[in-house]
Amino acid sequence: MGAQIRVYRQKISSTTSMRKIFKAMELIATSRIGKARARVAASLPYANAITRAVSAVASQSEIDHPLVTEPEQIRRAAVLVITSDRGLAGSYSASVLKQAEGLNELLHAEGKEVKTYLVGRKSQAYFDFRNREYARVWTGGTDAPEFSTAREIGAALLADFAADFEDGGVDEIHVVYTRFKSMVTQEPTVIRLLPLEVVEEEAASESELLPLYEFEPETEQVLDALLPRYIESRLFAAMLQAAASELAARQRAMKSAGDNATDLIKKYTRLRNTARQAEITQELSEIVAGADALAS
């Protein structure tokens, strides 16, 4: 009985320590989620403004630009997968990777090669464990992304988009990330960046019309200048959405883990008390039996 009580005491002690860690991580995620949501909201005005500018150029001009023209044959597609660097966030990274696998299957079914780019150590570990190739990987700071990283990713994707197929170039670019909807809901999402699909975060009303522009210099030169910035803003917005989703998922996962730890502590405490009571009862029975033996 004594050994059993010691086991329960050790389990209670270790579970209590784990609960403290879960609580600390929950508080850290809670403190950071507000800043992450503020960064998402702050990025919208610029993203929407440059989206309207690109929309005006792409929709009001009859041009043949590779960034806005659908190619006759798409032979290779680039897929950028945005996950987290750290775990303990529930099924956050697993949901993104599942969405990416579904996209890969769809692209392969259409006869397209897939060239993969990764953001986050979780996606890198996933591909390394399965000995699957990927073109490039960016790690570090997924819960607090920097615009310089989005700029570097955009430059790499645009360089491959401009390259020939024989040189490893791609014909279209997809991004898989998690869209932040609320503290409870985060949705794995796939968007196609190129060829251009203009999608605003906040849709304009049907009565809102884009103004008419006269472009100077030529429209192609305007697109050459605008589209890299447009791609960077879309990538950075996706990274900010993913960061907010990661923190919300971690906060929810740590709260659930802390609640489960509390339930385990209660369970082990009851089992320990039951074992102690049984031990005391046995000792009393032995004392009474010994006293009866001496009396007889």
Q: Is residue 62 within 8 Å of 100, Cβ to Cβ?
A: no
pLDDT for residue 201: 44
Count of other CB atoms within 10 angstroms of residue 243: 27
Is 260 among the domain residues?
Answer: no
pLDDT for residue 213: 62
Is 130 among the domain residues?
Answer: yes
Q: Is residue 186 within 8 Å of 92, Cβ to Cβ?
A: yes
Is 225 among the domain residues?
Answer: yes
Residue among 200, 196, 198, 179 nearest 188 (CA): 179
Is 1 among the domain residues?
Answer: no
Q: Is residue 194 within 8 Å of 74, Cβ to Cβ?
A: no
Is 192 among the domain residues?
Answer: yes
The pTM score is 0.82
Beta strands in the chain (DSSP E): 76-82, 113-119, 136-138, 172-180, 186-194
pLDDT for residue 165: 87
pLDDT for residue 212: 61
Question: Identity (one letter) of the amino acid at 254?
Answer: M
Is 147 among the domain residues?
Answer: yes
Is 257 among the domain residues?
Answer: no
Sequence-distant (≥ 6) Cβ neighbours of residue 25 within 8 angstroms: 88, 250, 254
Is 220 among the domain residues?
Answer: yes
CA dihedral for 140, 141, 142, 148, sign (positive or negative): negative
Domain containing 142: what range?
Answer: 25-199+216-252
Residue among 154, 156, 67, 74 nearest 107 (CA): 74
As for how many domains the chain has, the answer is 1
Q: Looking at residue 140, which CATH number applies to its domain? A: 3.40.1380.10
pLDDT for residue 265: 94
Q: Is residue 134 within 8 Å of 157, Cβ to Cβ?
A: no
pLDDT for residue 100: 95
Using 50 as the pLDDT threshold, list the residues of the chain that sit under it.
198-207
